[in-house]
Amino acid sequence: MNLFPPDTTHSGNPPARAKRSGKPHDTAEAPAPGVASVTQLIDKLSDYLTPAELKKVREAYRFSDEMHLGQVRKSGEPYISHPIAVAEICAEWKLDAQAIMAALLHDVIEDQDVKKEELIERFGAPVANLVDGLSKLEKIEFQSLVEAQAENFRKMLLAMASDVRVILIKLADRLHNMRTLGVMVPAKKRRIAGETMEVYVPIAHRLGLNNIYRELQDLAFSHLYPLRYRTLTKAVKSARGNRREVVKKILESVKQTLAMAGIQAEVYGREKTLFGIYKKMRNKHLSFSQVLDVYGFRVVVDNIPNCYVALGTLHGLYKPMPGKFKDYIAIRKINGYQSLHTTLIGPYGTPVEFQIRTQDMHRTAESGVAAHWLYKTGDQNMSDLQQRTHAWLQSLLDIQQQTGDSAEFLEHVKVDLFPDSVYVFTPKSKIIALPRGATALDFAYSIHTGIGDHCVAVKINNETQPLRTELHNGDIVEIVTDPDSRPSPTWLSYVRTGKARSAIRHHLRTINVNESVELGQDLLAQALAARGVTGELPASTIERVLAESSAKSMDELYADIGIGKRMPALVARHIFGLMDGGDDTLPSSAPLSGEIDPVTIYGSEGVSVQLAPCCLPIPGDGIVGQLRRDQGLVVHTADCLPAKRLRAKEPDRWIAVQWGEELNRRFDCRIRLLINNEKGILARVAAEIGESDGNITYVGMDEDDENMMTQLRFTIQVKDRVHLAHLIRNLRRVAGVNRVERERA
């Protein structure tokens, strides 16, 4: 998916920069019906801009018109109609003059090679900076299409971090391109609609721009699934007539009831978006006739207390559905949205959704951060919504500083754009918003990177819980830290936020470099030996490998292999190709079918080698190694079921490993006992484990209803498989123990 495609509306290559005409003009050629014109734009801007600001906007229009002279869109319209349309959308939000000027000029750097310095000279630095932030990347050759996409997305989001107007204009640009996408070929429609749904729709939602969010969703839906869109449109039109009487009856009842309660309110029905209906049908496997709440109602009152009074009044009119009430006023959504949501059983047993809010909440719900410009007050400070949006945008810079990989940056940001959130509390009652599925460790990193790095334990609602515990709305979370604690590679498997993932990876990259280098060297040697290459590599080959891999040294290349960032088999294949196709002599002619020495595992390695928590291998087990990105080598037992499934998907990431001969440490192992629940049984079992030279690190108990017995689960530390067999044999002799077995994933 190309996040910044070539302009969706150009016809062929853009013309060379036009010569400036001596006579400026206020209007382009007579526009075709439906095409934006500068006259309409100026009319809209006259409502809130001063004459001096309008004069500057006209200057920006003339310059843009001159630069795009002779350039047309795919539909045959003059290209200038596109910047005007983008500016008109921005004018609907009442964005300031600088933003309107930037909207008019947003393509001149990219298409006509206008220099930023010229824009600064003509229109000032703020406008030039906005245009520069909006401009697509200069013509840089990327190693892959994916990298180019990620780089473009990175530039857009980092520009947002300095000025949110950049993304507002960008969204207006995307909205107009989506409105005029019909002239494109089907394949291009699907590609652009796909990136809109994946990237721009979540951004609009994250910024609270609900009108654009809904329109972009439906436009993207219409081009991604045109047949489904047409079918659903027809069904909704048909249902609209059937349900008109129901909607009218509900409206009249609600207005009358609120008036009797003395509440002044605006009440109106709203139809759910086509994509919203489609998503509900798909997610819940419903037919259209089963989606009853196609319509919803909004109640807009004058103050917050009346929101709750109106809620109680509506609950007296119709019965509420259990579990369908949400209070987004007390705890607002992460994008600033506030309303009371309730679903009631209306006439004829139809579920009806109501949203209750104030006028201010309604403005924020419809325009999000743009409401800051829509309804300015005398207070020049940022609103609470602006501050929280700015904090999110600023967090992108934190990720950028810790992440060198563009694709990785894109992965982080996509995670944070996920709209569903949970709201938890610090011990001092501060509300923290996190993505749905976030864990206690994500909470620690959201407070501060240092707290996350040194986190050792967490208390959730005053109870100690594992760091991987998923958080839920209303949880009170307290983090326990230790200055000697450091991040573990296993943390990457359960953190949810981009900030936490980025910080952990940054830490892992900067510690135990020597260990990663040694492991990478062993893995590459093994992969080269599989191709018959042993011994020292020629200097000329090393030089070419470093140049083509962008690594500064062989140690850096080894370290990348050691942490799983590069695949040893692919690097070996590349080296073999260089040597086989060049003048270098292969260091050895060992047969390709020869036995390859496996990597030796001692179990005492640092972060670059881990024992898989799913199967907890111990010496004596057959083992295999999996190379995981930024987690190094993960060792599984040969019969581990999760490992077998992963190996079938990515066989290239698995290598041969073996246990070393001198293992001077103990290894965790899980066992399960089925016992009679009788007095003293736990003490007898624990004593026998101690007598067998085992060390207990965890014990758990649960009932086995089928056998009317109790299960004991232990994590114990043993020397090897022989030691474990001896311990299990002794436990089977304990009175009251019916069964003992090693527990596997």
Chain segment 249-299, per-residue pLDDT in tens: 888 889 999 999 889 898 887 767 788 788 878 877 777 766 656 668 889
Q: Which residues are within 8 A (CB) of 406 and not within 5 positions of it... i.e. 6 or more apart?
A: 147, 150, 151, 154
Average pLDDT of the residues in 689-710: 78
CA distance linking residue 410 with residue 402, whole number of Å: 13
What is the reported pLDDT for 479?
93
**Higher confidence at residue 15 or residue 706?**
706
Specify the range with the lowest mean pLDDT, choosing from 106-120, 465-479, 546-560, 567-581: 567-581
pTM: 0.52
Give yes or no for residue 100 having a pLDDT over 60: yes
Fold of 227-371: Beta Polymerase; domain 2 (3.30.460)
Chain segment 305-320, per-residue pLDDT in tens: 999 999 999 999 888 8
The torsion of the CA quartet 498, 502, 505, 509, rounded to 10 degrees, works out to 160
CA distance linking residue 499 with residue 338, whole number of Å: 26
CA distance linking residue 45 with residue 95, whole number of Å: 9
Q: Which CATH superfamily is domain 38-224 in?
A: Hypothetical protein af1432 (1.10.3210.10)
**Higher confidence at residue 151 or residue 202?**
202
Average pLDDT of the residues in 391-397: 64
Specify the range with the lowest mean pLDDT, choosing from 190-194, 238-242, 731-735: 238-242
Q: Which helix (H) or strand (E) holds 440?
A: helix 440-447
Specify the range with the lowest mean pLDDT, choosing from 81-85, 126-130, 337-341, 540-544: 540-544
3-state secondary structure of 180: coil
Structure tokens at 224: 């991604």
Give yes or no for residue 635 having a pLDDT over 80: yes
Chain segment 479-488, per-residue pLDDT in tens: 999 887 888 7
Specify the range with the lowest mean pLDDT, choosing from 214-223, 230-239, 316-325, 702-711: 702-711
Average pLDDT of the residues in 191-204: 83
| Residue 114 burial (10 A CB sphere; 0-12, 13-18, 19+) | buried
Q: Which CATH superfamily is domain 667-742 in?
A: ACT domain (3.30.70.260)
Binned at pLDDT 50, 70 and 90, residue 590 comes out as very low
Residue ranges of domains in the chain: 38-224, 227-371, 420-510, 598-664, 667-742
Binned at pLDDT 50, 70 and 90, residue 399 comes out as low
- The fraction of the chain above a pLDDT of 70, given in percent, is 75
Give yes or no for residue 32 having a pLDDT over 70: no
Chain segment 249-258, per-residue pLDDT in tens: 888 889 999 9
Chain segment 129-188, per-residue pLDDT in tens: 888 877 743 333 444 555 566 666 666 666 665 677 888 888 899 999 999 888 888 888
Give yes or no for residue 615 having a pLDDT over 80: yes
CA distance linking residue 32 with residue 345, whole number of Å: 49
Q: Which helix (H) or strand (E) holds 266?
A: strand 266-271
Sheet of strand 709-718, all strands in order from the earlier edge strand to the far edge: 695-704, 709-718, 667-675, 737-742
Give yes or no for residue 204 having a pLDDT over 50: yes
Is 127 in contact with 105 (CB distance < 8 Å)?
yes
Average pLDDT of the residues in 39-58: 89
DSSP result, 21-39 = PSS--SS-SPPPTT---HH
Binned at pLDDT 50, 70 and 90, residue 96 comes out as confident
Q: Give the CATH class of 420-510.
A: alpha beta
What is the reported pLDDT for 18?
41
Average pLDDT of the residues in 500-519: 76
Average pLDDT of the residues in 573-582: 69
Chain segment 430-449, per-residue pLDDT in tens: 777 788 789 999 999 988 88
Average pLDDT of the residues in 393-421: 61
Binned at pLDDT 50, 70 and 90, residue 591 comes out as very low
CA distance linking residue 263 with residue 257, whole number of Å: 9
Residues marked as catalytic: 110-111
Neighbours of 590 (CB within 10 A): 17
Is 224 in contact with 194 (CB distance < 8 Å)?
yes
Give yes or no for residue 727 having a pLDDT over 90: yes
Choose from 34-38, 240-244, 494-498, 636-640 the range with maximum mean pLDDT: 636-640
How long a stretch of residues is the chain? 745
Helices in 225-368 by DSSP H: which ranges?
Answer: 226-260, 274-284, 304-317, 359-367
Give yes or no for residue 5 having a pLDDT over 60: no
Place of tokens 């809620």: 311
Neighbours of 378 (CB within 10 A): 4
